[in-house]
Structure 1
Amino acid sequence: MPDGVIGEHPGRGHGRTGRPPLTDERKAEIRLEIARAAVELFVDQGVAATTGDQIAQAVGLSTRTLWRYFPGKESCVSPLFAAGIDAIAAALRAWPAGAPLEDALERASTSGEGSMLRPEPPRVRTLLRLTRTEPGLRAVWLQAHDEAEPVFARALADRAGLDAVDLRSQIQAAMLNAALRAAVEHYAWRTDEPDPDPAKARSELAAIIRSALIFTANGIT
């Protein structure tokens, strides 16, 4: 009989059991669940009054596990702020020559799972309003756009058939990134009126982003 424990398969360890590791897809789903719970708490009771324990409890996690996903409570909303970056980059790569920029990006920036605002816009609109008075949330919002810019630049370089990002791609990406941020902030900040219904809000946001993209495509004159 070979050396070892009866019933143990070679190379499998000594009776180690436990849950299988989470897939990247499931981790992303959990991050989004946490983000949605955090935004609800921030909007309903304020950032200062919200604790990591409350966010973790809302999604059925331990606080210790929550901090494995995010370094702080404000950063819990980062998946919402970063939503749509990959979809927009894909749309940039597929942007047909001669087609208007606003047509190429409108769907990627405002609809479906690739949306910049994954939950219904009214809720995130209220969250974005908090970035005016909550430095921690403002930092997370700006960080999302800081991380988006090189992704857009790489996509634009790919579209142009370049092996590396050039100055033109960087400037185009910076203009696009700034336009998208300004459009969403304009949508969120321009009024303190009660949030409209989701369908109306999404339509309004789409129109504002479309206008911003037209301004960007036309450049500064």
Structure 2
Amino acid sequence: MSAQQQSLTERRKAATQLDIARAAAALFAERGPDATTAEDIAHRAGVALRTFYRYFRSKQDAVGPLLSGGAERWRALLEAAEPGAPLLGVLEQAVTDALAAPDDRAAEQLIGTRGLLRAAASDPALRAVWYRVNQDSEERLLPVLTRLAGPDADELEVRLAAAAATDAVRVALESWAKTEAPAAGPGSPAELAVRCLHELMGGMRLFRP
């Protein structure tokens, strides 16, 4: 298989996974996880049940691509940044852009995330997916921050920064999910995440001038 064919295959797989994830999220919002089966999700997504299980082990796993979407956007923005700029400012701008809701579609995605986080409060399996998504995000963020911090940065401080940055976004989203605050503006995920970044990272040497 050529590189081009492989790339097309991977895109098709990712698109199918996202279709299944959206179907799962919609059904969880309508019925709740307990009243939703893998068969229901596969039917809503328009795929065979065997296709569902090719990509996901359980119905809760199916929403992973949606829950990880914000982290992937944030990481992509950080990967595009150049070393040398104040790291806290770079993190703030990236998280603000990643969690922004400039249009109805972006706002709808955040509202969907709020519904999933609310459902996770009473569903241990769904909560485990959320924690796994955050752990994966932290691990993927570490090499990005290592590059941005530069070769002289202390390895322990960079690791702490990756953990704190991930937790800042997680806590912001979880706190927002408990409210009826809008997806943009005061009380939004972006605003809360920036506040959490300041609170968690303000005392770190890595972020001092």
TM over 0.5: yes
Alignment correspondent of 1:72 = 58
| TM-score normalised to structure 1 length | 0.76
State whether structure 2 residue 31 is matched by structure 1 residue 45.
yes
Q: Distance in 2 between matches of 1:77 and 1:164?
A: 36
Identity %: 36
More helix, by proportion: 2
Structure 2's unaligned 5+ residue stretches are: 205-209
Structure 1, residues 106-159: CA drift from partner, whole Å, max 9, x if none? 1024358xx9x8853222212111111000100000000011111111111111
Shift of 1:103: 2.4
Q: Distance in 1 between matches of 2:145 and 2:112?
A: 31
- The one of 67, 71, 96 aligned to 1:106: 96
Structure 1's unaligned 5+ residue stretches are: 1-19
- The one of 205, 208, 213 aligned to 2:189: 205
| TM-score normalised to structure 2 length | 0.80
Q: Distance in 1 between matches of 2:152 and 2:53?
A: 38
Structure 1, residues 146-178: CA drift from partner, whole Å, max 9, x if none? 111111111111113349992221111011111
Alignment correspondent of 1:17 = none
Is this contact kept in 2: 1:41–1:50, CA < 8 A? Answer: yes
| RMSD (Å), alpha carbons | 2.8
Is this contact kept in 2: 1:157–1:165, CA < 8 A? Answer: no
Matched length? 191
Moved more, 131-140 or 86-95: 86-95
Change (3 A) 1:163 1:66: farther
- The one of 171, 174, 179 aligned to 2:168: 179
Q: Distance in 2 between matches of 1:211 and 1:160?
A: 21
Moved more, 88-97 or 141-150: 88-97
